[in-house]
Structure 1
Amino acid sequence: MTETDREAAGGDRLRRWRMVLGGGEADGTGRVLSGRDAAMDGALAALYGGGGAGARGQERSGGLGGSAPRVARWLGDIRSYFPAPVVQVMQRDAIERLGLATLLLEPEMLEAVEPDVHLVGTLLSLNKALPDTTRETARAVVRAVVGQLERRLAARTRATVTGALDRASRTSRPRHRDIDWDRTIRANLKNYLPEYRTVVPERLVGHTRAARSVRKEVVLCIDQSGSMAASVVFASVFGAVLASMRSLATRLVVFDTAVVDLTDQLDDPVDVLFGTQLGGGTDINRALAYCQSRITRPADTVVVLISDLYEGGIRDEMLKRVAAMKAAGVEFVALLALSDEGAPAYDREHAAALAALGAPAFACTPDLFPEVMAAALEKRPLPVP
């Protein structure tokens, strides 16, 4: 490396440290920013700045003010300076740190933001307050995020669940009319007799007529308290995907202290999401009571409870309902979160009580969810992370 290269590398390191430290006398770099670097620093300072001299000797201070046009310009700036994942983090911080949620009621604000799951959660929490001028823009933002999630998750979910249903319905002793000859031949290729040019089928593969005629039932029971926003978004997308499969009968129930059945809206996850009401209390027992009342074939039913388990209802009754459903043959799955956000906060005592009933409670990423559903449908051990 030449002396010029070393100087350039050292200058770039100083530049990066200056961007991290935010300027002022305490940063120790002595670096002055200009051009695009100064503009990026200004965008960061508007959100994270806390005093000190700026790149041009001005006092830095956090805050974007109360003007929607000014915030919309800032949102446009950060989209031009930073990659989408960083923009989404900054947007989330701006909403939380600077109280900008109410500004999302402005159409120009929604048009400037980078759509993501967290933004959808914020919009859903503001759902009832959205003015008519903003509602269609908000629906467009939500639809864009739902479309992204469906492209990411739908094909794999259908393939994984279809495979599980197929395996669950197979039998090694089918009647003649129920034999799957294609699979039977493939399973017995090792028994090929060249002299007779035939395969000896030592093992038959087929489906029982009862299994082929009975649809499995899936009940998604979703806690819509404010802390579960991301889980509600993902669960709505999965609900729509599962509902599109003819081999499944899917029901979607959301709850806080009240219970709402959104099954008739499952053809459009955007309608499902706008039918939720994030926030409020939690009554898991009441929600499970409703779900239990809708189960007609327990041995063919999977109930997925998505909740952080902070129960505001009757704890003992909730656990009795879970125990009763499992005793009747229901496959019961408790997900503490359905999101990419890492370890969630949850009620550990209730989680332990469910585990003691044979219903382990664990957080699940969206990418793992198809495998969880497949295991539940096949009644095999769940892939607990």
Structure 2
Amino acid sequence: MRPTDRWRLVLGRYADQRLPAPADADGARYERALDYLYGREYAGRGGRPDGAAEEREVTAGSLDPSAPSIVEWLGEVRELFPRETVETIERHALDRYGLTELVSDPEVLACIEPSEELLKTLLSLKGRLAPAVLSQVRRIIRTVVEDLRRRLETEVRQAFTGRLSQHRHSPLPVAKNFDPRGTIRANLRHWDPERRQLVVERPLFFQRNARRIPWEVVLLVDQSGSMVGSVIHSAVMAGILAGLPSYRLRLVVFDTSVVDLSDVAADPVEMLMSVQLGGGTDIAQAVNYAGQILDNPARAVVVLVSDFCEGGPPSELVAAVRRLVEARVTAIGLASLDGSAHPHYDKQMAGRLADVGMSIGALSPGQLAEWLAEVTAR
């Protein structure tokens, strides 16, 4: 693509009078595909489409074309642009231009590339989605969750199943447990000086220390709208932890009500289909519930995933956390559980909770697993 063609894509319809026409038909296709969406930027600002001498009446960005036209446009975008660009365009269509029809028509949803950003939008709108699209919503949730789980499961399980033993070896030939130095020492007698090669007759593999975790873990997840990314990662994390042996997980979501989803903790898709984002927040009620369901507080961990924006009296939340800590419960508050580098949360409230003994942080699922592994190794 010529530099002038790239500038045409940047400038949009106003490039016609200043720059030469696209070099080929594909250049025109790129322009039409982008103008379908980003041309709304000019209309929203009262611009003059096509360089007209007088402004014509324009309306705010919306999906005026029929659903089949949207499907054709999505198909064109996916054919022309790489996947990362497609996801950006779809995200702009939803977030910047409010084209919510993209997530309300089954045919359109079937054409959209599943992504974490799309899933966040679907969860935010879930209370308003028509029944006709729920099967597509479930498909998108499953695709995103499986991708996240593949990326996270190895590091999470490794954190919980123990570190490699540097002193004992295992008869099981697992590649990631290979002991290169031990293997060389054990096979030095098979060194061939003429060929300058070491013949390995007996490779050695470290034995992984199996560690039982007879701890209770309660994962309290805030359903407020700002926590949607953390809700997704909490669901995946719960699904992984629920599959670990000798480990008891309780999954609880809350707003102004508390809902125990422990029965579906092993199924992130069902968990995400059950949440209702938005509404008020009563964190103290959720913390009190966590304290009531613990069998052995001294060997229990409560993980509160929240932005700490308490809707009720702050003193009640502080008192609830203090009671957990005094009962010897290990408590951690996470402002983010999705790898966000700059989570938004109530720092003053988080500071008050830290003062009564709750650890506060923003962790990825893998980092949370490492933290839990250290706590439960005591």
TM-score by length of 1: 0.76
Asked whether 1:36 is paired with 2:44, we answer: no
Q: Corresponding residue for 2:360?
A: 361
Alignment of 1:106-145 (within 5 A): 106-145=105-144
> Which range is displaced more, 226-235 or 73-82?
73-82
Q: Output the CA distance in 2 between the equivalents of 1:130 and 1:86.
A: 26
Segments of structure 1 that go 5 or more residues without pairing to the other structure are 1-10, 168-180, 190-206, 380-385
Name the % identity. 39
Alignment of 1:79-118 (within 5 A): 79-118=78-117
Measured after TM superposition, the shift of residue 367 of structure 1 is 4.5
Q: Output the CA distance in 2 between the equivalents of 1:153 and 1:160.
A: 11
Q: Corresponding residue for 1:18?
A: 8
Q: Corresponding residue for 1:196?
A: none
Q: Output the CA distance in 1 between the equivalents of 2:320 and 2:330.
A: 13
Alignment of 1:1-385 (within 5 A): 12-24=2-14, 30-33=19-22, 34-49=24-39, 50=42, 51=47, 64-65=63-64, 67-163=66-162, 182=168, 215-378=214-377
Measured after TM superposition, the shift of residue 261 of structure 1 is 0.3
After superposition, what is the alpha-carbon deviation per residue over 1:227-286, rounded to whole angstroms, capped at 9, x for unaligned?
111111110011011000013111100001101000001221111111111111111011
1:19 aligned partner, one-letter code: L
Q: Output the CA distance in 2 between the equivalents of 1:68 and 1:115.
A: 19
Residues 1:322 and 1:140: Cα distance change in structure 2 (over 3 Å):
same
SS of the aligned residue for 1:295 comes to: coil
SS of the aligned residue for 1:368 comes to: helix
Q: Output the CA distance in 2 between the equivalents of 1:378 and 1:52.
A: 67
Checking the alignment, whether the CA contact within 8 Å between 1:286 and 1:313 is kept in structure 2 is no
Checking the alignment, whether the CA contact within 8 Å between 2:339 and 2:362 is kept in structure 1 is no
Checking the alignment, whether the CA contact within 8 Å between 2:62 and 2:98 is kept in structure 1 is no
Q: Output the CA distance in 1 between the equivalents of 2:371 and 2:10.
A: 41
> Which range is displaced more, 280-289 or 332-341?
332-341
Checking the alignment, whether the CA contact within 8 Å between 1:101 and 1:122 is kept in structure 2 is no
Checking the alignment, whether the CA contact within 8 Å between 2:8 and 2:31 is kept in structure 1 is no
Measured after TM superposition, the shift of residue 142 of structure 1 is 1.0
2:370 aligned partner, one-letter code: E
Q: Corresponding residue for 2:193?
A: none
SS of the aligned residue for 2:358 comes to: coil
Q: Output the CA distance in 1 between the equivalents of 2:357 and 2:27.
A: 56
Measured after TM superposition, the shift of residue 328 of structure 1 is 2.2
SS of the aligned residue for 2:301 comes to: strand
Q: Output the CA distance in 1 between the equivalents of 2:359 and 2:136.
A: 40
The number of residues matched between the two structures is 333
Checking the alignment, whether the CA contact within 8 Å between 1:24 and 1:52 is kept in structure 2 is no
Q: Corresponding residue for 2:196?
A: none
Segments of structure 2 that go 5 or more residues without pairing to the other structure are 170-178, 183-208
Measured after TM superposition, the shift of residue 28 of structure 1 is 9.2
Checking the alignment, whether the CA contact within 8 Å between 1:161 and 1:374 is kept in structure 2 is yes
